Amino acid sequence: MLCIYCRSDTTESTGAEHVIPAALACKDTLEPGYVCDKCNDYFAKMDYNFMLNRYIALFVGAQQIPNRNGRIRTQIGHKLNFPEFGSFLFQLCPDQKESTDRKWVYGAKQDENFDELLFARGVHKLAFNTFAYGRGGREAMHGRFDNLRRYIRRPDRGEIWPYAVGGAPYDGTYYASLHHDSAFTEVSVSLHVLCLNFFVFLSGSCYDLAAKATGQEVYVVSRKGQWQGSSILGLTR
Ligand SMILES: [Zn+2]
């Protein structure tokens, strides 16, 4: 069997790639052999960076999402310390004024080590993981995903593929849905992770994401790395 990311032989590989990072309390894994140990190691940095996204990090703190060992975190990264559970209010919309007698209203500051380009690739990696998990390694090896493999593991300098992101209610589960056109050339994944819903094209070819991701208040992260669209999450600030 070959690694779905780098196509190297995985016969000797022993690790199992988590579909969604284990640090977000998701236990589902791809079967051993889908992802080589080298890629699995490489993705550890990508997954950690995913956690540093301010909305993911704050949500992990606010909802007390346990780490891979089942422990509740009090901090993520260098800047995000979580006060006692129940003593603060987590707001997705910093401008929204609400009267509250709670001590803290958490703003959403971004950890200085957060890497936007790595995050964008991490989103695509999660989407491709869910595709492989749902459709199997054989379909994931199809040549239509070769450019995606390259982008996730060896992007050009500054390269960023667009994706859309919007807020979503959290019910304790992770889920994804796959969509494709009749020729199966444009494959997209709608992926719900904690409080965010991502909309990702695995071909990277869709330039009109906002129109495709209908029914959502979305941002589109463009090819130039600029946030466009709705500002409901305050992500542009
Ligand atoms: Zn690999």
pLDDT in tens, the chain (237 residues): 999 999 999 999 999 999 999 988 888 999 999 999 999 999 999 999 998 887 788 788 878 888 888 888 877 776 666 666 666 555 554 444 555 555 455 555 667 788 888 988 999 999 999 999 999 999 999 999 999 999 999 999 878 887 888 777 777 778 888 888 787 778 889 899 988 888 888 987 665 666 666 555 566 665 554 444 433 333 433
The two three-digit tokens of residue 228, written as one number: 């466009």
Distance CA 171, CA 49 (A): 24
Quickly count: other Cβ atoms within 10 Å of residue 106's Cβ: 18
Q: How far is the CA of 7 from the centre of ligand 1 (A)?
A: 6
Closest to 62 (Cα-Cα) out of 78, 86, 80, 79 = 86
Q: How far is the CA of 9 from the centre of ligand 1 (A)?
A: 8
Q: How far is the CA of 5 from the centre of ligand 1 (A)?
A: 5
Q: How far is the CA of 33 from the centre of ligand 1 (A)?
A: 9
Q: How far is the CA of 17 from the centre of ligand 1 (A)?
A: 11
Q: How far is the CA of 202 from the centre of ligand 1 (A)?
A: 18
3-state secondary structure labels for all residues of 152-194 = HHCCCCCCCCCEEEEECCCCCCCEEEEEECCCCCCEEEEEEEC
- Helices 37-52, 116-135: inter-axial angle, 10-degree rounding: 120
Contact 3, 39 (CB under 8 A): yes
Rounded to two decimals, the pTM is 0.83
Distance CA 40, CA 22 (A): 12
Q: How far is the CA of 52 from the centre of ligand 1 (A)?
A: 24
The two three-digit tokens of residue 49, written as one number: 């960076």
Instruction: Write the CB contacts of 40 (distance below 8 Å, at least 6 apart in sequence).
Output: 13, 15, 16, 17
Quickly count: other Cβ atoms within 10 Å of residue 124's Cβ: 23
Contact 194, 24 (CB under 8 A): yes
